[in-house]
């Protein structure tokens, strides 16, 4: 799992900057390109000043597509390099003709139950938005559906509002991920308090690394939203800013929640460790009770098992009843002592 | 319990912003709306410039009420969305005609002994205050009573002073919660030092998560109070600011106290863990003392329990007294050794 | 002990601000009011522009006294409320006619050995200083003595210098407290390294909470000194500022020392825990040595204690010497093995 | 390993500043000096305004070389001292005629698997760059190769671009190091979860110190890149700044990743410790099961091994079968009890 | 050792400020005063504008000397108090006619191996420097030697350069101390990994407190150097500032290194604790193996040691060989099981 932290960049070492090399794990699918143009209504007319173009590229391993798109829209080489090199830190960069955003969409992989990150790159121009994704999941489907609706605000609101909508979907997804993590936390919480097993530890460790990754992904979103609001990017209009402020608000909430869960999970580890100690204690108590009761009795038996010729007790008439009495008394005394210590 | 951290927002994903969906746990009660108008005296006259209107909505699951109130007072859709979506982070937002505040009231649920949060939303206009609450608890009763008094300062002091009074009640409640937590801490402190049980651990863990939540709720109140004082909100008059400064002061004190308790509780966990270690040690000592005293004696008995034909000691006249002597000497020697080690 | 963190404020909830309710633990003593007027010399003449008045109130539970003093000097209601409500965070507040300071004096209670805090409130006007204390301890005696001296600088230096002198005494007291804590730390350090007992843990825990409280008390003093130096308060003259800078210097030193001790004490806890582990290890070693040596021997004895009819060894001439030889050899071999493992 | 933290500087104590003494570990190799001059093409003509000179010194133990280079280019004595004194903190210093940079190149030593740091000093002038390295590794080979290519951007872009290229290679190397650490982390992660051995602990400890050193090396690179971008150094032209911004971006990513790994590694330590606890628990369980089953049985045998004359059971016809029955019953009861406790 | 944190200041409590009381541990030596005057050459002529005077006082317990020096040079009473009161936090204060610096020189006491701090106070005037030290160690000897050299830069460079030289010596000493600590760390690192003993723990604890103290001493040096560079002190000329920047650089490096060692040492504590756990585990394994193999065998022997009259096995011809077979089989089975668990 931890390999997601560092994508293999060795291939790029020593290359001149701007060299286009795909760094990522997803290679299998055929890239899919979809293009929507609208100016209040969806259209296929050539792009003019009022219309908005959304070009969506899904699948990055064929870097040639990235290069061609880059040439058509006049995108800087370093930007194209960052698009191909997934595993980048979320960030925002301004250029004279466009703004470049990297954000990270997150999902829980249903098979492994672990976090599955995806880098989404956005190039936001005056009246166009280009998105690059690694996968072909239905992440942006709700947006496409709203775009298909006739009177949706999205259609009449420009490329910046479209970018906001996409980012909003991604941030909303964080909460879905957090809910799934909340479910896990509650399950583990129960297990830990009732009686943890070895696999509990692994689950806690996985939660911990997932939350670490979550934080690493969500944290830079604050800066991105902040810079979009504070007017660094000319293509973001003032009418879109209240919506971005809402996104910032949600991002802060997400960061906050992640931090809280991290504290909770590390608290659970303490509980787990002390539950293990408790169990050790219980085991030891049983052993000690057994040993403390029987070892003296066994000694007693051994004593009268000795074969000395001259051992007067062995010939006594009431030797055996005496031994029975001693044994019972000693055992009862022990049991009382343990009850006083609250061991029984 | 941890589910309070993330309210289920999945239902909202992909919806256009401003969609009114209630996100919260409280559904059962019929919403209650109360309205007070006063201009030095309580009145039912229509609202004019001098009079103050307090509209209080308790119960949020019928979002239609929120929408209608929103329409009447001209409230932004995003604000209404935040009101319906409880579990929000406390915050303050200014709009041209009103300020929007989310604060979190806290209480200790008497049945479970755990924290029970409630989101209180305030919309503060020039001469009106609208409050939205999830529940119908007597939280604001003291204010209503003071409002009913004829010469109360609250009646002659405008909507901002009313808002301050409500926030003050909520902040004062934090101290009540802190007192209850202080009581718990003292109880657990005693138990931990004297002899902790398994349930102690659970109590410590619960205290820890409660304090975590408390901090998360109280912390943003500082910013809210600060921004109300620093003139961000035009509807807060200068005469109300000394009172808000007092609220800020209390909030800082509450934050401080929460931090202190968090340190104390994590200190208690250390004590608990080492108390468990100590008990393990004690158990082991008992076991070791028993074993160390009796195992050699048992060996001795076993030795003279052997059935060899030619074992001279068995036929000695003083064989048995000799064994008694050896056994007593060895046991006494052991006891002295243990006393030297300070085990007895 | 932890109850000192949160004074019971429940009684105040829902009351209008400025309601005078004493919140504190000290109730028994009769309040004592002393008044000194001087203008280079002690005088009983009515107050004029050159003379300085020091009004000292010791004992806060009769809130009527506070109210009357407040009325005479025209003190704000919120200030009076803070004076009566001990357990406040140290702070400084300016008003047009006076400055209001809350500082916390600390002492070690000689009977319990724990920290004993006292809230001291100062109202500093142009030529008067009013002090409110909870107790009647000789804390300010040295100042009173210096005031009684004919040529003391304190007599010719105005109310601000008098306030500085009192704060200086309080800060100097912090170092006395720190010295006593240093003594405790050294004692516990010794005990921990040599052989800790159960009570050691409690002492460490008490030190920890005391240091926590100490930090909470000393930390805000920095801000108080800073604001007095930086000219926020008009009644502090420039000639007094070098002295306040000295106080600030001492406060920073105190904060620093508290932090250092906190690190040392948490280091001691680690040592304590590992000393406990070490002892467990030692106990286990003894048990293991005893068991490892005797269990095989006991088995040997048991073996030849069996009653089979056809057991040739029992009838051998040298059966018994053979067993003796085996037993001695086995025990010696074990001892050598343990010595190699460095257990003996 | 830890000796890399503090290079032996004792030899320098009390010397006047600027005294040239080599402080470092690498002494064996003969220093190698290479010089490249280019002005679009590689040349051997004397340096003029358009041409760029790269003087590379590899091997620092002959301080005379440093001194001579310093004299020729008019370098400050304190700078030369810092060049010779490897183990310096990365930093940047401006001088009127040049800028002085210390950066740290990192590699994983293939024999020990540990971090192997190297101090690289750069002196960047208007049209010259002098680099000082401790070793003669092929670190800068890719740059030399690109310099040898006819149409490389590096050749036509000035000394600042060359400096950027070298720093870029060094930062790219950090990711190579991080990848190797990621591999190690994944290996150890597996081992820890499956069943750690003693050497695991050592590996974790080594990873920890390596990450500590990594952070110490990477962290100041942010400041270096930042200051080069923010125009502190006149020799860095605006055209080079986008590239430096890229370096800054990578550095932040590296710092981020190092922090994440540190969190992961300390998480692994917790897992390791609790795995050890788990194993102890398992051992104890086995011991307790064995002892709990057999000790009572052994007592039973001892009991009827006693040699009393009057022991009626011994003479019973069904005494022996009775004992067999008791023994089997007791053992089965124990096994059932253990199964209920889920120990078996 | 910890007593160095708080020098006994109780004697000063309640005294008026500026009261000269020596607070420190060094009392035995006779104070030594040396005076050097130079203006390019060493001279005994009376002080004029060009010459520089260095007055060095070693030994502070005779406060009369401090007072007299103070009177001659017109030094503020609060400054003299700080000089006598060793154990002060390093700081810098400006006065119209001089600057007052407190720095802390550190050494490793060769007998105890612990840190031995010394407060060095410097009063830097336009052409004089007064130094106060507690001890008469050869700390400043290299400076005195360089001063004795005819063409040393120190002689022609004014009092500020002399002050820099002394501070430089002190900072260089930090690295010597750090080297000694590095040696200790490496020794302990080895011991911890190979097999720690009880004294290891004490060494780790001592290292920890020493590093704590080191940090407390070195940290404020940054501020001192910073303020001397940033022109707060008029007596520091611009020509001396590059040297002070070098000192600042070294100080930052020292702080950095101290922090790194603190991390390493706390890492070692973890290793130590888990090594102790490991050893406990090993002990337990031995005990369990012994017990698990022999307890069933002993039971077997006990079984056939019973004295029942009717025990058919005892009379069997092959009863004894059968028991031998069972015993050997059971022991071998156990050994195989343990090998499978990798315990052997």
Mutate to test the interface with B, among A308, A314, A327, A330 (most CBs of B within 10 A): A308
Q: How far is CA C94 from CA A331, C91, C98, C228, in A?
A: 76, 10, 7, 10
Beta-carbon separation of A290 and D287 below 8 A: no
Q: Convert the pLDDT of each residue in C50-74 to its tens digit.
A: 788 888 888 887 888 888 888 888 8
Contact between D274 and A272 under an 8 Å Cβ cutoff? The reply is yes
Query: For residue E139, what are the contacts with CB-CB under 8 A and spacing of at least 6?
Result: E105, E107, E118, E133, E169, E170, E173
Q: Convert the pLDDT of each residue in B77-90 to its tens digit.
A: 888 888 888 878 88
Chain B, 148 to 187: residues with Cβ < 8 Å from chain C are: 152-154, 168-169, 172-173, 175-176, 178-179, 182, 185-186
Q: Convert the pLDDT of each residue in A162-213 to its tens digit.
A: 999 999 999 989 988 998 888 888 888 888 877 777 778 888 888 888 888 8
Q: Convert the pLDDT of each residue in B297-318 to its tens digit.
A: 888 888 888 888 888 888 888 8
The highest-level CATH class for domain A285-340 is: mainly alpha
**Distance separating alpha carbons of residues E135 and E24, to the nearest angstrom:** 11
* pLDDT for D288: 85
Residue C257 with chain E: CB contacts under 8 Å? 5-6
Count CB pairs under 8 A between chains C and E: 162
SS3 of A19, please?
A: coil
Exposure b/e, E99-134, CB count within 10 A at least 16 = b: bbbbbbbbbbeeeeeebbbbbbbbbbbebbbbbbbb
Q: How far is CA A223 from CA A101, C137, D259, D311, in A?
A: 11, 55, 19, 90
Question: Does residue D231 come out as left (phi exceeding 0), alpha (psi in the -120 to 50 range) or beta?
Answer: left
Beta-carbon separation of D193 and A213 below 8 A: no
Q: Convert the pLDDT of each residue in B188-244 to its tens digit.
A: 888 887 777 777 888 888 888 888 888 888 888 988 888 888 877 778 888 888 889
* pLDDT for B145: 85
Judge: domain D281-340, CATH 3.40.50.2000. Answer: no
For D274, the closest of A76, A272, A314 (CB atoms) is A272
Judge: domain B2-7+14-276, CATH 3.30.460.20. Answer: yes
pLDDT mean over C316-331: 88
Residue closest to C303 by CA, chosen among B290, D305, D324: D305
Quote the tokens at residue D39.
């002005």
* pTM as predicted: 0.78
8-state DSSP, C89: P
C97: pLDDT confidence band, cut at 50, 70 and 90? confident
Residue D155 CA, distance from chain mean position: 34
Beta-carbon separation of E283 and C278 below 8 A: no
* pLDDT for A7: 56
Helix axes E319-340, E241-304, angle to 10 degrees: 160
User: Judging by DSSP bridges, how do beta strands A32-38 and A99-108 pair with one another?
Assistant: unpaired
Beta-carbon separation of C291 and E295 below 8 A: no
Domain A14-276 superfamily per CATH: CorA soluble domain-like (3.30.460.20)
Query: C287 and chain B: CB distance < 8 Å anywhere?
Result: yes
Residue A257 with chain B: CB contacts under 8 Å? 5-6
Same fold, D18-276 and D281-340: no
B108: pLDDT confidence band, cut at 50, 70 and 90? confident
Query: C330 and chain E: CB distance < 8 Å anywhere?
Result: no
Q: How far is B64 from chain A (nearest CA, A)?
A: 22
Residues of chain A predicted below pLDDT 50: 1-4
Contact between B276 and A281 under an 8 Å Cβ cutoff? The reply is yes
**Distance separating alpha carbons of residues D19 and D16, to the nearest angstrom:** 6
Query: B146 and chain C: CB distance < 8 Å anywhere?
Result: yes
Residues of chain E predicted below pLDDT 50: 1-4
Count CB pairs under 8 A between chains A and D: 159
Torsion of Cα atoms, D158 then D159 then D160 then D163, to 10°: 130
Q: Is pLDDT of B3 > 50?
A: no
pLDDT mean over D296-318: 85
The highest-level CATH class for domain D18-276 is: alpha beta
Residue C216 with chain B: CB contacts under 8 Å? 256, 260
Q: Convert the pLDDT of each residue in B131-187 to its tens digit.
A: 999 888 888 888 888 888 777 788 878 888 999 999 999 998 998 899 888 888 888
Query: E306 and chain D: CB distance < 8 Å anywhere?
Result: yes
Query: B89 and chain A: CB distance < 8 Å anywhere?
Result: yes
Judge: domain B287-340, CATH 1.20.58.340. Answer: yes
Domain C17-276 superfamily per CATH: CorA soluble domain-like (3.30.460.20)
**Distance separating alpha carbons of residues D82 and D324, to the nearest angstrom:** 86
Residue A84 with chain D: CB contacts under 8 Å? none
Query: C25 and chain E: CB distance < 8 Å anywhere?
Result: no
For residue D92, list its beta bridge partners.
D101
Mutate to test the interface with E, among D11, D100, D205 (most CBs of E within 10 A): D205
Residue E265 with chain C: CB contacts under 8 Å? none
Q: Is pLDDT of C1 > 50?
A: no
For A256, the closest of B89, B291, B305 (CB atoms) is B89
Torsion of Cα atoms, D98 then D104 then D107 then D108, to 10°: 170
B341 or D131: whose pLDDT is higher? D131
For residue D122, list its beta bridge partners.
D101, D131
> Which numeric CATH code is attached to E282-340?
1.20.58.340
Average pLDDT along chain C: 83
* pLDDT for A190: 82
D255 or D344: whose pLDDT is higher? D255
**Phi, psi dihedral angles at E131 (to 5 degrees):** -120, 135
Beta-carbon separation of C261 and E5 below 8 A: yes
Beta-carbon separation of D16 and E186 below 8 A: no
* pLDDT for A46: 58
Q: Is pLDDT of D166 > 70?
A: yes
Residue closest to A15 by CA, chosen among A63, A74, A54: A63
Quote the tokens at residue D8.
């032996």
For residue D37, list its beta bridge partners.
D43, D53
D344 or E145: whose pLDDT is higher? E145
SS3 of C28, please?
A: coil
SS3 of B25, please?
A: coil
* pLDDT for C191: 83
Fold of E15-276: Beta Polymerase; domain 2 (3.30.460)
Domain map (residue ranges) of chain C: 17-276, 306-340
Torsion of Cα atoms, A307 then A308 then A313 then A317, to 10°: 60
Q: Is pLDDT of D29 > 80?
A: no
Beta-carbon separation of E273 and C275 below 8 A: no
pLDDT mean over D178-195: 84
* pLDDT for A8: 52
* pLDDT for D189: 83
Sheet holding D42-43, edge to edge: D42-43, D32-38, D52-58, D128-133, D115-124, D99-108, D91-94
Query: For residue A236, what are the contacts with CB-CB under 8 A and spacing of at least 6?
Result: A99, A124, A160, A228, A229, A244
Query: A273 and chain D: CB distance < 8 Å anywhere?
Result: yes
Beta-carbon separation of C280 and B278 below 8 A: no
Q: Is pLDDT of B99 > 80?
A: yes
Element (H, E) at A164: helix A158-194
Q: Is pLDDT of C115 > 90?
A: no
Residue C191 with chain E: CB contacts under 8 Å? none
**Distance separating alpha carbons of residues E203 and A23, to the nearest angstrom:** 48
Which value does ipTM take for this structure?
0.72
Least confident range of C124-128, C317-321, D28-32, D45-49:
D45-49
C278: pLDDT confidence band, cut at 50, 70 and 90? confident
**Phi, psi dihedral angles at C157 (to 5 degrees):** -120, 10
Residue B91 with chain A: CB contacts under 8 Å? 249
* pLDDT for C147: 83
* pLDDT for C3: 45
């Amino acid at each position: 799992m931890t390999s997601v932290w560092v994508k293999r960049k060795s291939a790029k070492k020593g290359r001149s900057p701007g060299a286009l090399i795909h760094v990522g794990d997803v290679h299998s699918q055929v890239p899919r390109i979809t293009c929507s143009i609208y100016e209040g209504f969806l259209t296929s007319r050539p792009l003019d000043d009022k219309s908005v173009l959304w070009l969506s590229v899904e699948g990055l391993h064929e870097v040639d597509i990235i290069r061609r798109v880059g040439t058509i829209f006049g995108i800087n080489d370093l930007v194209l390099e960052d698009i191909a090199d997934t595993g980048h830190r979320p960030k925002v960069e301004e250029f004279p003709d466009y703004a470049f955003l990297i954000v990270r969409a997150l999902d829980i992989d249903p098979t492994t139950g672990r976090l599955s990150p995806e880098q989404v790159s956005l190039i936001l121009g005056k009246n166009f938005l280009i998105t690059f994704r690694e996968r072909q999941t239905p992440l942006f489907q709700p947006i496409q559906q709203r775009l298909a609706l006739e009177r949706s605000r999205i259609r009449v609101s420009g490329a910046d509002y479209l970018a906001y909508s996409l980012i909003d979907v991604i941030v909303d997804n964080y909460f879905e991920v957090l809910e799934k993590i909340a479910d896990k936390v509650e399950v583990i919480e129960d297990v830990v308090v009732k009686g943890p097993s070895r696999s509990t530890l692994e689950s806690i460790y996985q939660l911990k690394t997932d939350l670490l990754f979550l934080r690493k992904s969500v944290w830079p979103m604050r800066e991105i939203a902040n810079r979009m609001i504070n007017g660094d990017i000319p293509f973001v209009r003032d009418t879109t800013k209240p919506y971005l402020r809402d996104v910032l608000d949600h991002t802060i909430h997400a960061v906050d929640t992640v931090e809280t869960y991290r504290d909770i999970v590390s608290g659970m580890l303490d509980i787990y460790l002390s539950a293990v100690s408790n169990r050790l204690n219980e085991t030891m108590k049983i052993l000690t009770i057994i040993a403390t009761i029987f070892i003296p009795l066994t000694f007693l038996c051994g004593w009268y098992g000795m074969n000395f010729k001259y051992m007067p007790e062995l010939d006594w008439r009431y030797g055996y009843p005496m031994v029975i009495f001693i044994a019972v008394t000693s055992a009862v005394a022990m049991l009382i002592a343990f009850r006083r210590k609250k061991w029984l």
